[in-house]
Amino acid sequence: MLFRFFRSQAGLGGNGKVIIAQILLLITATAWGTTFIVTKGVLDVIDPVKLLAYRFLIAVIVLCPVCAGGSRQWQGHFSQGIILGIVLSLAFILQTYGLKYASVSMSAFLSGLYVVMVALIEFGISRKRPAVSSVIGIVSASLGLILLSWDGKLALGLGDMLVLSGALFFALHVILTDRIVKRADPYVITIIQFATVSVISLMVMGLTHQPLALPRTTWLATGYLGVIATAIAFLCQTLAQQYAGSVHTAVILTAEPLVATAIVLITGFEAVTLRIMLGGALIVVGMLFSAKAEKLADLPKAVPKNAVASR
């Protein structure tokens, strides 16, 4: 229903589309914010690649009825979807293996650094001077991320380096998605890249001689990761990036560690501190400034008052 609503808003002006994109990105960040603890628990039982294979296979099955319906244009999308799938596979394999050996807090911090990576890569490619609001948003969100997640340790172990490498590929995935989804069917692109991740993971399982059986104790967690954190979350991100730039997308997704921290506080594993409150406030401020920069950038593209909207 949410995605049908999103499609029905195609005639909205630029700012209206940006607002809807922000809502979808917040849904994505909320879903991802719940995954670190869940993933950590599953990785105590099964190999990271097996988790990815089942997680994305479930996502493909869930999205098939949505993506296969109607007159979708599959031709010409396969190469783009496969490229996104390969980048996403590398991102997840590195992050998931890293999470197996790194702490949850350090993993959340290093994974969140991709917001800075996206900004640096994007500004380097475009050669354009970033808007002041955009810079303030990036800096504020990054500082908030540091306060929320970083445990103060400077030494990086093997797990930390793997997570950091995964963050780089997540940054590349955001940037590539921004380029591709503007001229492609987001539903088709999503399911092709999910299928690619699943196939690559199954191939790695075969090469490492891993059994296909999934322990019953992991069914619920794997199903949650497949449906909520993958099928719904990534489809929301892909749809949102039709109207949200890559830097703005990355800044909004810094809400992910904010959600993770909120869960830790609610469950009583950590007490509310000034550091946590300040970190959360800085992330919110960063999102607001980034949203301002995005809306200002989109104003020249808005449909004139007397123009006829087309789909």
Which of 199, 250, 162, 218 minimizes the C-alpha distance to 41? 218
**What is the end-to-end Cα distance of the chain in Å, rounded?**
19
- The pLDDT of residue 303 is 34
pLDDT at 299: 39
50-82 CB burial, b ≥16 within 10 A, e <16: bbbbbbbbbbbebbeeebeeeeeeeeebeebbb
Give the SS3 label for residue 156.
Answer: coil
Given a cut of 70, whether residue 306 has pLDDT beyond it is: no
pLDDT at 309 over 60: no
pTM of the predicted structure, to 2 decimals:
0.81
Least confident of 10-14, 41-45, 170-174, 299-303: 299-303
- Predicted confidence (pLDDT) per residue in 54-101, tens digit: 999 999 999 988 766 555 666 678 889 999 999 999 998 998 888 777
pLDDT at 136: 86
Residue 211 above 50 pLDDT?
Answer: yes
What does the pLDDT read at residue 104?
64
Can you say how many angstroms the Cα of residue 99 is from the centroid of all Cα atoms in its chain?
A: 16
Choice among 30-39, 68-77, 118-127, 182-191 with the minimum mean pLDDT: 68-77
Q: How confident is the model at residue 301 (pLDDT cuts 50, 70, 90)?
A: very low
pLDDT digits (tens, 9 = 90+) for 150-173: 666 666 788 888 888 998 999 999
pLDDT of residue 144: 84
Residue of higher predicted confidence among 261 and 138: 138
DSSP 131: P
User: Mind listing the pLDDT tens digit for each residue in 247-266?
Assistant: 888 888 888 877 877 777 77
Average pLDDT over residues 103-131: 77
DSSP state of 229: I
Task: Give residue 145's pLDDT.
Answer: 80
Per-residue confidence (pLDDT) for residue 266, from 0 to 100: 76
> Which distant-in-sequence residues (6+ apart) come within 8 Å of 147 by Cβ?
275, 276, 278, 279, 282
Q: Cβ(231)–Cβ(63) under 8 Å?
A: yes
Looking at residue 100, what is its pLDDT?
76
Cα 54 from Cα 148, distance rounded (Å): 31
Calculate the average pLDDT of the chain: 80
pLDDT of residue 302: 36
